[in-house]
Amino acid sequence: MSRKSDTPTAAELQILIALAGEPLHGYAIMQSVESLSEGRTRLGPGTLYTAIKRLLDRGWIEEAPLADGDDERRRRYALTDGGRQVVDAETREWSRLARIAQRRLAEGVAA
């Protein structure tokens, strides 16, 4: 199944959600994703940085200035307006799908 280029993968969406609060560096993104998913998702560095490259290429995130005291070798990333739109659209779509699933389960409709 091919992916539409405007649809993030699950890992990409979780990274976008992690960045919705504030700019973060890579390790902080991994920690945030794990925390937000209540430990269900752990991103490895390969998955994280491959996803970050795709998100940068799509313009959904951008490099952010370093915070005071940050190690200059670190890169921080921030959500762009386009990234916020993606999170909003995906959130609305998943909410719609969840309502359909709940209704079908309540009605006993077979999948």
Unique residue bearing structure tokens 């998100």: 55
Residue 2 lies in a domain: no
Phi first, then psi, for residue 76 (nearest 5°) are -110, 150
Domain limits at 24?
10-107
Residue 1 lies in a domain: no
**Residue 54 lies inside a defined structural domain of this protein:** yes
Sign of CA dihedral 7, 9, 12, 18: positive
Q: Does residue 93 lie within any of the structural domains?
A: yes
CA distance 45 to 97: 30
Residue 2 contacts residue 44 (beta carbons within 8 Å): no
SS3 4: coil
Let me know if residue 86 belongs to a domain. Answer: yes
Q: Residue 72: what pLDDT?
A: 75
4 occurs within a structural domain: no
Question: How many other CB atoms are found less than 10 A from the CB of residue 74?
Answer: 13
pLDDT at 63: 94
Domain CATH number, residue 86: 1.10.10.10
For residue 3, is it within any domain? no
Q: What is the pLDDT along the chain (111 residues), one digit of tens a residue?
A: 445 578 999 999 999 999 999 999 999 999 999 999 999 999 999 999 999 999 999 999 999 987 777 677 789 999 999 999 999 999 999 999 999 999 999 998 555
Residue 40 belongs to some domain of the structure: yes
Number of structural domains the chain divides into: 1
Q: Where are the alpha helices (DSSP H) in 26-80?
A: 26-36, 45-58
Question: Given this model, what pLDDT does residue 110 score?
Answer: 58
**And the tokens for 64?**
């952010």
